[in-house]
Each structure stands twice: as structure tokens, then as C-alpha cells.
Amino acid sequence: MHEYLDDKFNLTDKENKFVAKKNFVQLIHSNSKFEGVNTTLSQTKTIVEGMSVAGISIDDIGVIVNLKRGWKYVIDSEDEFNINSVKKINEIVDRDDAIEPGAIRTGNVQIGGVEYEPDIPTEKELKDDIDNIIVSTVLIVNSIVLTFSSQIVTALFVLSQLIIHILALLFKHSQITKR
């Protein structure tokens, strides 16, 4: 790989946080779609700024506000990304929806519309899954850099959202129902 590519796309924590700050509302808006929130980017921005929007439910506003708090934590935190930081993000983002926000589920869950029932993960399995996501992300990013270097910033943005959503869904579905 060319040295130029290595240096250009190896962002420091400070640079990553700068990108997140610049895209703060867009990140919240796209994350909220995974939760079924149907707001426009403009409506999301208004809610993030602390104002209400006619026609948007209290539940949807709560999702946006909690995502805002979660992204604020990510941007302000100096913690290393690991299972503890994932639990903390989940605790913030899912505080109004989960039985035990930030905790790994201990009971079975049901997912509406399907018969599939996921296994109850152990903390080690969850840690291994997070480590695998991080490794996979590095491999995907390296592949993208080699293939589409002019579009890397957009790809990293989308990839970061995907990772957050996977982790949020992992915890959210794990907290829905205890048997």
C-alpha cells in the first residue's frame, strides 16, 4: 500500500471526533432510522437543538435525545472502545427502553414477526463479537481504501453508523423481553 494512503486515512482520535462533531445531526438522524423514527434531517436538527416539532411523538423525540446523549458521550469520552464502553453507550441510548440498560441480557428475547430466538450471550461471547466487529471494520476499511480512495470519507461515515447500529441492536434486542 502507498504511504500516502496509510497516512491519509489513519485518523487520530481527535480527527475522528472532529468528523463526528461535524456530522453530529446526520449521525443521530441516520441512527434514529434503525429505531423506526420517521423524521426529516431538519426535524432531527430542531429536536437536537432542544426544541419540539409538531407531529413528532414523544417516544421519537426521546429516541433522538438519547442518541444525542450517546453520541455526545462517544465524542467526549477518552475511554478505549471495548465491551465496557459499549455497555455505557447502550446504557445512555437505551435508558428509556431496556429493562436493564447497559447490561448483557440474561433472559430470552422475542423478535416480532419471526420465530427465531437468539441464544443468550455470555459476556465473553459479546466481547469476542465486538473484537470481531473491530477487526472486520479494519479489513473493510483497508479494502475500501485500496478500491475507492476518493470516496473513503463517505464510506467511513456509513461504516461507523453501521457499527453503532449493530451494537445498539445487539443490546436493544437483548433487553426487550426477559422470560
| Distance between CA atoms of residues 101 and 172, nearest Å | 9
User: Where does the pLDDT of residue 5 fall: very low under 50, low under 70, confident under 90, or very high at 90 and above?
Assistant: very low
User: Is the model's pTM score more than 0.75?
Assistant: no
Q: Which CA distances in Å does 62 have to 94, 100, 105, 117? A: 10, 17, 22, 28
In this structure, are residues 171 and 126 in contact, taking their beta carbons and an 8 Å threshold? Answer: no
Look at residue 59 and tell me whether its pLDDT is greater than 90.
yes
Cell of 107: 433472559
pLDDT at 151: 53
